[in-house]
Amino acid sequence: MTVNKIVTGVLSYGMSGRVFHTPFIANNDRFDLRAVVERSTKKAQLDYPSIISYDSVEQLLADEAIELVIINTPNDTHVSFAKQALLAGKHVLIEKPFAPTVSEAKELFDLGRKVGKFVLPYHNRRFDSDFNALASVLHSGKVGEPVEVHLRFDRFRAEIGQKVFKETKRPGAGILFDLGSHLLDQVISLFGKPISAIKRTSIHRKDSEVDDFATLLLTFDKGLTVFITVSMLVLESQYSFLLHGTEGTFVKGRTDVQENQLLAGINPIEDHYGEENQHEEGLLTYLDQGNMVSESVKSIKGDYMLLFDAVYEQIRNNKAYFVTEEQIYWQLEILQQPSLC
């Protein structure tokens, strides 16, 4: 059976293009990796000899063979480049943050409908092994009704980074839009739309223009409270996932290995890709007929290839994508709201 491949172009061959996109497009037989944009240094052909390296976004968008464009450029360019791609007749897959505001996100979805093209958010962290361990525990019912959930994304980077678009005050900048959007998407995928949200951001690094610490306090039905914390100044990382329920507790570190494996050049179709390291299981403690039981929870392997499979199914077979338009609006309503002083 002949596969109707999706011919794909990637707007940047920096870290995200090299690590999170091209390895999956190149190793998925339902896609054809055709082109990237490299404005100055040309490196893509060292990895993919047959790839076309365009000098500009405009050149790539003028390539009539390309059907899908991955928008993986600086955060404040996502909306403008996505509009250009849609008007050029391309489907778009847009990295987080999808857009700085709800109104801009709505413009993109409306434009997609107008030109008959799909607008798809790239939220790969739904396919992290550690997050899916949390989801599996929730769905098992062993902790009872969830009462309190904490999600953290910790890093330690006291110096100002080299990526200007991440470190200067502009739309979509700051750690909450950068890392917090991952966690907020994960929470929304589990619990839906919060009843209320409180946002707090702050700046601590010398000469920083953008928030390097942020926290969200979210409330849901049945009294559930969810805390999201992201920080650039955590030297000793804490549990990334902590769940307390009426009948049990689950704790889990940030143990998904995919990013590190991809950075090391491991191919995403290799057998051990996405498998967590040994002895990094989560710990589930719960009541069983009144007795306290503790057990390790082994995660299923993480697999970002599932995201690209979902992209294919949406474009070729009109199968609903796993991130909805409504969920993007919920996320951005929270991210763009004012911070408490």
Q: What is the CATH number of the domain that holds 115?
A: 3.40.50.720
CA distance 37 to 60: 7
State if pTM tops 0.85: yes
pLDDT tens digits, one per residue of 20-32: 999 999 999 999 9
CA distance 184 to 332: 10
Specify the number of domains making up the chain.
2
pLDDT tens digits, one per residue of 315-336: 999 999 999 999 999 999 999 9
Residues contacting residue 87 through CB under 8 Å, at least 6 positions apart: 111, 115
Residues 287 and 151 in one domain: yes
Asked if the structure places residue 326 within a domain, the reply is no
Residues 181 and 32 in one domain: no
Residues 74 and 173 in one domain: no
The boundaries of the domain holding residue 314 are 6-122+306-320
Asked if the structure places residue 96 within a domain, the reply is yes
pLDDT tens digits, one per residue of 128-165: 999 999 999 999 999 999 999 999 999 888 787 777 66
Asked if the structure places residue 330 within a domain, the reply is no
Residues 179 and 275 in one domain: yes
CA distance 160 to 254: 24
Cα distances from 77 to residues 97, 200, 287, 324, in angstroms, run 10, 25, 50, 22
**Per-residue model confidence (pLDDT) at position 341:** 63
pLDDT tens digits, one per residue of 168-224: 787 878 899 999 999 999 999 999 999 999 999 999 988 888 889 999 999 999 999
Residues 241 and 163 in one domain: yes
CA distance 59 to 11: 10
Contact 170, 177 (CB under 8 A): no
Give the DSSP H or E segment for 166: helix 164-167
**Per-residue model confidence (pLDDT) at position 165:** 64
